[in-house]
Amino acid sequence: MDEKQYVIDALSVNESWRVFRIMAEFVEGIETLSGVDNAVTIFGSARVKPDDIYYQKTEKLARLLVQEKFNVITGGGPGIMEAANKGAADAGGKSVGLNIRLPYEQKPNPYANIHIDYKYFFVRKVMFVKYAVAYVILPGGFGTMDELFEALTLIQTKKIKSFPLILMGSEFWGGLIDWLKHRMLAEDKILATDLDLIQVVDEPEEAVKLIKKYVII
């Protein structure tokens, strides 16, 4: 066997083994989270600091959710994720952190009392959706937008059961909502009913009230 063919064969073997690594992440996630019911998944920026108003609102939101018998799932990192895990843990609830291994910025926060470490984004995102009865999305960056629009697409196309999808922070989200209305909707790229999938609030109490309206424990 020449050197080139040896390299090709080695790469093929590595690709095959990757399937098992992916499968292992799914298995670990399902086994770990199967006992976490009535979970609200909370998303938002990893760059928010504890003195930020959205950090403080997120911490309060998570605490209120646990008091109403919900559990909390986050991406397990700093910022909004840390605030949500902290609020849930301090209130005595299940505080789940699904951390993604990244070369910078994303480090596990210390407040998740149930923790899974992921290599693959897509496996992690399946777990977010699979065990959520609602999403609350705080201001964030590209990752937050990715999670928002993936959930919208899955609900819109009926690939998953519809659940409350709540954006917290009308000042931050207002421009996006206007763009969806005046571009996507106005140009027939989406239906008016698609916009009804999104609800915007400003306070943690409003988010909890909406979730309780649609989710009966």
Half-sphere exposure of 143 (CA within 13 A, CB side): 20
Would the pTM count as exceeding 0.85? yes
Tallying the residues shown for the chain, one arrives at 217
Confidence (pLDDT) at 127: 96
- Mean pLDDT of all residues in 1-26: 66
| pLDDT the model gives residue 8 | 41
pLDDT of residue 44 exceeding 60: yes
| pLDDT score for 102 | 78
pLDDT category at 105 given cuts 50, 70, 90 is: low
The CATH number of domain 3-214 is 3.40.50.11060:
no
Residue-range domain boundaries for the chain: 3-214
Region 43-56 average pLDDT: 97
Instruction: Inform me whether the pLDDT recorded for 81 exceeds 60.
Output: yes
Terminal Cα distance for the chain, rounded: 63
For the segment 82-96, the average pLDDT, to the nearest whole number, is 98
Q: Which spans in 94-191 are helix H?
A: 121-130, 142-156, 170-179
Mean pLDDT rounded to a whole number for the chain: 92
**Kind and range of the H or E element at 7?**
helix 3-33
- The confidence score (pLDDT) of residue 106 equals 64
Instruction: Report the SS3 class of residue 100.
Output: strand
